[in-house]
Structure 1
Amino acid sequence: MVGWWYMAGHLSNKRKYGHIRLIVMVVMSVILLVHSREGNTRTLRFVTLEYPPYQYLEENNAKGIGVNMVNEVFNRMDKPFVIEFLPWGRALREVQAARADGIFTIYFSEERQKTMLFSQQVLINQSVSIFSNRDSDLNLTGDINELRQLRVGLVRNVSYGKEIDSAIAQGVINKVVETTSGTQSFKLLLADRVDVVISNQLGGFDILRRLNIQQLVQLHSEYEFVIPSYFAFPKTWRGEKLKQQFDATLQKMKSDGTYKAVLAQSLLCSGNDCKD
């Protein structure tokens, strides 16, 4: 027969371990509650490059096509956020180190995919083209090999899509002059320090307008690379969750017509840039 002292000890142990399990469950519930509240109230921090007309500061307010789209997506998600404009290289590092919650508008590359989570949904399609001085004697045909002997102005740390990036990596484009901004690249073009500038098409037109040099620079329509741009997140559990919500929300916007409406309201998109 089992002694009463054994049964009493057994019951005591059951109560003790029951209390421990209860404490663990309470702690877990508190942790989940904190994470849930943090996810609902925490202000997200997004970083980007000042890149008119997609994103730029005007009277200390973030504006542009990309900003309008991001506003619509995250307002639907009920996620408050702030946008910080940084040099592109620093902006990339902030997301890679998970100090920022997202970055836009960003081109995909396999190298970047190693350190960031890219949205499945395209945020905005962009067109990359080549510009030169209108009085230059360049006769470009669209063959990227003809850029081999030209001085090419590019913004440092910016991807220009698979074709251009590959041509640079393989040495086809080998006379690269790096700048910190598209505006600086076009100023070098006017100063005859580069032969051509590779730029996002709408961004290039915006710079020409702001510098009032539309009559001095020409677009080479032989070169037009349509490149999707995305929203990217840090490789964390929070980044993965945010990415899934982002993709679902943007997909719904494209289905219900809001996506095209936001682009149309921006009044700056045309041609390939207005595609889904």
Structure 2
Amino acid sequence: MIKRLLLCCFFSFVAIGNVTATEFYTEDFPPYNYLENDELRGIGPKIIKGLAQEAGEDPKITVLPWARAYKYAQEKPDVGIFSIVKTPKREDVFQWVGPIYTVRIGLYTITENKHLYQGTNDENLEKARKVGDIAVQLGGAGEELLTTLKFQNLNKIVNINKALFLLLKGRYDLLETSDTYMAYMAKEEGVSVEVVSEAAFIGQYDMYLAFSKSTPVATVQKWQDALDRIHKRQAAKNPS
């Protein structure tokens, strides 16, 4: 689905319309959004850039630590943030455009400890509640979701890009992340993805572009309409 949407975005025509001074914030979180040789790359930016073309917009995109990006994205009009999960706590904080893609989230352990998580998923989650330390991104959806699930052993980290390295070194018992991120970081660390295993499944979550509440509703609708047109073309080219 992600590949088809990316292709649709890249080959969409630029829509006719006035360009506004919209600013978007995102984070350095590969492979979804990341800087490489000062160029913003990843699944999220590719989709957002294609969506901007469809909407006839040219937003400025700034990369910040997630907690700061999240704060700034609430503070002024014509400001958005991506790629963000629409959680119950966040739903009324922003105006939403999406979903733009979907991720699978789980708790990961080093494979030599996989034998500790051989029960049902509920049983594995209960075991996870009792370990010493679970790494989660500070201010990320995982922190909110696991807190809702009554986890009290969360280690809230800022630099998520070092999380796999520290998991392998035994700094954390478990790491909350997506399968796509885990595969990417294993490659970056020069190790096989098989050195880690999913201990428990948390869920599949849709990722969105979110706008501040002070952004005009018409602006948000313009972006949603652009995304809907892309999805409509995608469906016409790939009927089920």
**Structures share a fold, TM > 0.5?**
yes
- CA distance in 1: counterparts of 2:92 and 2:62, whole angstroms: 23
User: In structure 2, the residue corresponding to 1:123 is in which secondary structure?
Assistant: strand
> 1-side partners of 2:86 and 2:173: how far apart?
27
Match of 1:152 in 2: 134
May I ask how many residue pairs the two structures share in their alignment?
A: 217
Alignment pair present for 1:183 and 2:165: no
Taking structure 2 as the reference length, what is the TM-score of the superposition?
A: 0.81
User: Could you list the per-position Cα deviations for residues 124-181 of structure 1 after superposition, in whole angstroms to 9, with x for gaps in the alignment?
Assistant: 11111222112225421322212111121111111028753411xx3xx222112113
Structure richer in helix, relative to its length: 1
Instruction: Say whether the 8 Å CA contact 2:109–2:167 is kept in structure 1.
Output: yes
> Per residue, is there more strand in 1 or in 2?
2
Pick from 186, 204, 224 the counterpart of residue 208 of structure 1: 186
The 5-angstrom pairing of residues 36-115 of structure 1 reads: 40-98=18-76, 101-115=79-93
Cα root mean square deviation, aligned: 2.5
User: What is the CA distance between 1:197 and its match in structure 2?
Assistant: 0.6
Query: Against the structure 1 CA distance between its residues 183 and 54, is the aligned structure 2 distance closer, same or farther, given a 3 Å change threshold?
Result: same
- 1:254 corresponds in structure 2 to 231
Matched residue type, 1:40: N
Higher relative contact order, structure no. (Cα contacts within 8 Å, ≥ 6 residues apart): 2
Alignment pair present for 1:135 and 2:112: yes
Structure 1 letter corresponding to 2:41: K
Q: 1:250 to 1:42 in 2, by over 3 A?
A: closer
Conserved? CA contact 1:253–1:259, under 8 Å: no
1:164 to 146, 151, 160: 146
Unaligned runs of 5+ in 2: 1-16
1:136 aligned partner, one-letter code = N
Equivalent position SS for 1:213: coil
Q: Distance in 2 between matches of 1:63 and 1:72?
A: 13
Q: Which has the larger radius of gyration?
A: 1
- CA distance change for structure 1 residues 253 and 199 in 2, over 3 Å: closer, same or farther? same
* One-letter identity of the residue aligned with 1:181: N
Encode CA deviations 1:222-241: one digit per residue, 9 max, x unaligned: 52511111110011243x22
What stretches of structure 1 of length at least 5 have no aligned partner? 1-38, 262-276
- The equivalent residue for 1:35 is none
TM-score by length of 1: 0.71
